[in-house]
Structure 1
Amino acid sequence: MLEPWRTGKVIRIEDITPITKRFWIAVDDLERFDFKPGQFVTLDLPIDEKRNKRWRSYSIASWPDGTNVIELVIVLLEGGRGTHYLFNEVSEGSELTLRGPQGVFTLPESLEKDMFLICTGTGIAPFRSMVNYIHQHNVPHRDIHLIFGCRRTMDCLYGVEMKALEKELEGFSYIPTFSREHDNPADIRKGYVHAVYEEIVTKNQLAPASFYLCGWKDMIDQAKEKILSFGYDKHDIHLELYG
């Protein structure tokens, strides 16, 4: 059963990169906005006469904390009517029509296998929610590898936060990799996400694992093909497609 449409108020906006913003939205008619880490909300934006052409869905980047406030992280898309509206017409105090939570891209009941959380760009949003939830609630787990790909270090979303969490959450590793970084700091990894998880899987001798993929179609298609080629089953792969 779908949740009803509700009104949310934007209470804070923060620039995180030149083309990425964080939006904090309070749903005033609820005391608390309950959701499962990994779920998304759909916004109904006034950008078209037809309702289904106005809808844009975004994963919730925050984790359930007992409040009625959620955070979205959104990148400005070239020619994207929805993101251009959000970036140019929405400010603190603006109201947005939203529905949610929705989606089944969520944590399993028991984290009995190693987890690979593989993402690009704002695809990190559901994984930020998941790993913080695991940490806050002391959820028993095996090794968790968050592999995040973007172009340059300046595009690295939540990098400082994830590095700090790496020190606090046992078994959690955060591995950003940059495909177009021209500088050459010794402590960063260059390239694409695929080489990273292949290296870990090979080192671990194909240990039982679950793979969660979130990002653009090309990345997900290539990751699915590679993971299956390792010998894993299609049921080991869970995905959330952007775009």
Structure 2
Amino acid sequence: MTENWHTGIVTKIVDETHNTRRFWIKIPDMEIFDFKPGQFVTLDLPIHEKKNKRWRSYSIASHPDGTNEIELVIVLLEGGAGTNYLFNEVKEGSELVLKGPLGVFVLPPTLDTDLFFICTGTGIAPFRAMTKYLMQHNIPHKDIHLIFGTRYESDLLYAAEMRQLEADFPGFHYIPTLSRQEAWTGRKGYVHQVYEEMLQDKRPANFYLCGWKAMIDEAKQRIQALGYDRKSIHQELYG
């Protein structure tokens, strides 16, 4: 073990949807687990002899709050060794070996353009961390648009909390977009139509993409086709 691996204790587990769970992990050997919103941790799970087959990385869903506890939100992948272990073996009180914080999927030092947070599934995790951090620290910002795509209303993660944030945090817009829900008064279809419509005015913007590779690849092409520079697009891939 090198010095950057830590033993975390699972303090709480909550089912968020039928196939996603929230895990709270405390890292007792650190007084404060300090990270930038958008960063991730890597877990070393006892599921294989080879190191690179044991490691699983997850964005931190909580914002830095001066404690040594973080929250992860994890979706159960069919046939996934890592998530099957986390869902079937890990209980409150279990130990998890982790390292972090890692990653450069973080906000720019000054927020002088609109931010488009575009995500699918558990890709909402880093954006929850970023939004709560911006609100708590009263950081000046332009409009923030969280466009969250999923199939059904029952798959929306943190829905009540996001609506509350929209009410409490000026300039934050929560746009859940469902591809398969019939009875739904909100946006229907896929995330791409939503931002393309909004960006007809070609306003200055920064884009943060998090979720499945297919969504990210398509979004990158479409955003650049609208005339935006590749440098304004930041991504965090899942799977």
After TM superposition, the score normalised by the length of structure 2 is 0.98
CA distance in 2: counterparts of 1:3 and 1:162, whole angstroms: 37
SS in 1 for 2:25: strand
Which ranges of structure 1 fall in alignment gaps of 5 or more residues? none
Structure 2: 5+ residue runs without aligned partners? none
Q: Show the 5 A alignment for 1:8-19.
A: 8-19=8-19
**1:238 equivalent in alignment to 2:218:** no
- Does the CA-based 8 Å contact 1:3-1:99 persist in structure 2? no
SS of 2:173's equivalent in the other structure is strand
**Partner of residue 86, structure 1:** 86
1:51-91 superposed Cα distances (whole Å, 9 cap, x missing partner): 11100000000000000000000000011000000000000
Residue 164 (str. 1) matches residue 164 (str. 2): yes
Amino acid at match of 2:158: Y
2:65 matched to 1:65? yes
Aligned residues of 1:3 and 1:101 also touching (Cα < 8 A): no
What number of residue pairs does the alignment pair up? 238
d(CA) in 1 for partners of 2:74 and 2:17?
10
Partner of 1:222: 218
Task: Answer whether contact 1:3 1:100 (CA < 8 A) is retained.
Answer: no
Q: CA deviation at 1:190?
A: 1.2
Output aligned runs, 1:116-195, within 5 Å: 116-182=116-182, 184-185=183-184, 187-195=185-193
Q: Percent identity over the alignment?
A: 66
Give the CA deviation at 1:3.
6.9
> Alpha-carbon deviations, 1:130-149, whole Å to 9, x = none?
00000000000001000000
Counterpart of 1:201 in structure 2 is: 199
| TM-score, structure 1 normalization | 0.97
CA-atom RMSD in angstroms: 0.9
Q: Aligned partners of 2:186, 2:167: CA distance in 1, in Å? A: 18
| Separation (CA, whole Å) in 2 of partners of 1:224 and 1:52 | 28
CA distance in 1 between partners of 2:223 and 2:22 (Å): 32
Distance, in Å, in 2 between the alignment partners of 1:19 and 1:169 is: 29
